[in-house]
Amino acid sequence: MPYNRTNKFMCYCFAGMVLALSTALGADSASSARPAPIVRAASVVRADAHTGRLIRTVLVNPNALTGAPAGAVPDGGAKKAMAPADIQSLRELVDHEVDGMAARYGIDPLLVHSVIRVESNYNPVAVSRKGAEGLMQLIPSTARRFGVSNSFDVHENIEAGVKYLKYLLDMFGDTRLAVAAYNAGENAVLRYRDVPPYPETVDYVYRVGKAHNAARQNAPAVQPAPAPQADPGPPPAREVEAYVDEAGRICMRTR
């Protein structure tokens, strides 16, 4: 192709697009303990497709971080600027969704929380170098596989992550292997018939297991349900006797 001003302009545009994409995906929060950034979010109420129950969902914009360009928020600055009420509201929503989804799909909610902690540290707009998104770091193919239209939607993200964990637990029948597959993919675990010897995966399984054990140790003890009270039944019948009053009338009374 002959060189001209048009081709030069197109090359600059393409380079600019690549640079912008690299900047947006540069921060891998899956392995970072950095506080969650400020998020411009909208809270909406809708009916759950499965139960018809009204649920509240926070929709977040991954590009709206403090109104500044990606990477411009210093370490620790985002958490100081984020209102404590917003942090509390987000955590309450995550707890509500995790409890509901874990109960629906029959898995331990503490395991789900442990995966979220290691994957994103509860950052709903986390994006890894590999393009994994949201709280449970769904890669685009996994998001499509479980019908997710917006990986930054707290409800959709947690439901898909929990469904995927349930699928892996059923496949391998072992929490350790299921967690390894969540990180490296089920095919890698099937190929090695164990945790794949990838340093990232080995470390990931260790950190999720450590978080899970700590969560179980710190969980409040479940109080046993009180024994049902025996039904005492109706009170015993009182004895009835007949007597004659002073006027000579026959009367009845109980003892």
Catalytically active residues, by annotation: 119
- DSSP one-letter string for 179-242: HHHHHH-HHHHHHHTSS-S-HHHHHHHHHHHHHHHHHHHHSPPPPPPPPPPPP--SPPPPPEEE
Tell me the helices (H) and strands (E) count for the chain, helix number first.
Answer: 9, 4
Residue 153, classed as helix, strand or coil, is strand
Helices 109-120, 175-184: crossing angle, 10 deg rounding: 30
Under a CB-based contact definition with an 8 Å cutoff, are residues 112 and 161 in contact?
A: yes
Are the beta carbons of 97 and 154 closer than 8 angstroms? yes
CA atoms lying within 13 Å on the CB side of residue 249: 4
